[in-house]
């Protein structure tokens, strides 16, 4: 898929989320809607969804689309743990070359994980996308997904029970 097509997909996804999340402040609704929109639009994504921060260094699976994901991931483990620990996007072209990658799906080859913040700037989740294609994700995905993470932020403040907030 060329860069222009990806950019257009992310523009459309953002437009759709802007419209549908306009009055939403329920984080489960926001995350479920986002997972659906992205998974439908990105043909190279095999798993699209959220891991929520539920304890100081623990992620638990949230709304997602795709095959069964791991239920819990500690901040010490995997690509998701690295994104949460470092509070930085992880772009992994080859999951087999990433020390500590957690293989929930044996067919997964590449992955991108974006930190997700609430309206107060607390890390509350990570957004994880996996692909069966090697190097499926690039800087266009990083840019598009980071923009979507910003859009989600105001919709993540309504239900404190969805996350652990210090
Ligand atoms: N591969 C991820 C785990 C989550 S799933 O693949 C859905 C990781 O290493 O963090």
Q: Are 33 and 20 in contact (CB under 8 A)?
A: yes
Q: How far is the CA of 69 from the centre of ligand 1 (A)?
A: 7
Ligand 1 atom 7 nearest Cα? 69
Go through 46-66 and write b for each residue having 16 or more CB atoms within 10 A of its CB, e for each that does not: bbbbbbbbbeeebbbbbbbbb
* Residues contacting 145, CB < 8 A, separation 6+: 10, 38, 89, 112, 114, 127, 129
The CATH code that applies to domain 3-158 is 3.30.450.40
Q: Are 118 and 124 in contact (CB under 8 A)?
A: yes
Q: Is the CB of 126 under 6 A from ligand 1?
A: no
Model confidence, pTM: 0.96
Express each pLDDT in 107-146 by its tens digit: 999 999 999 999 999 999 999 999 999 999 999 999 999 9
Q: What distance in Å separates the CA atoms of residue 40 and residue 34, rounded to the nearest whole number?
A: 10
Q: Is the CB of 63 under 6 A from ligand 1?
A: no
Ligand 1 probe mutation, 75, 76, 79, 113, most atoms within 8 A of CB: 79
Express each pLDDT in 79-104 by its tens digit: 999 999 999 999 999 999 998 888 88
Q: Ligand 1, residue 98: give the atom nearest the CA.
A: 9
């Amino acid at each position: 898929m060329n860069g222009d097509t990806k950019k257009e997909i992310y523009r459309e996804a953002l437009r759709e989320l802007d419209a549908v999340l306009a009055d939403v402040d329920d984080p489960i609704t926001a995350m479920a809607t986002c997972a659906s929109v992205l998974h439908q639009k990105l043909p190279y994504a095999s798993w699209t969804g959220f891991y929520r921060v539920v304890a100081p260094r623990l992620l638990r699976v949230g709304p997602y689309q795709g095959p069964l994901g791991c239920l819990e991931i500690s901040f010490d483990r995997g690509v998701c743990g690295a994104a949460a620990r470092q509070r930085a996007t992880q772009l992994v072209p080859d999951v087999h070359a990433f020390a500590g990658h957690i293989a929930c799906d044996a067919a997964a080859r590449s992955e991108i994980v974006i930190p997700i913040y609430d309206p107060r700037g607390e890390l509350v989740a990570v957004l994880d996308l996996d692909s069966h294609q090697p190097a499926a994700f690039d800087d266009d995905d990083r840019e598009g997904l980071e923009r979507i993470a910003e859009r989600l932020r105001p919709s993540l403040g309504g239900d404190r029970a969805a996350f652990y907030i210090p």
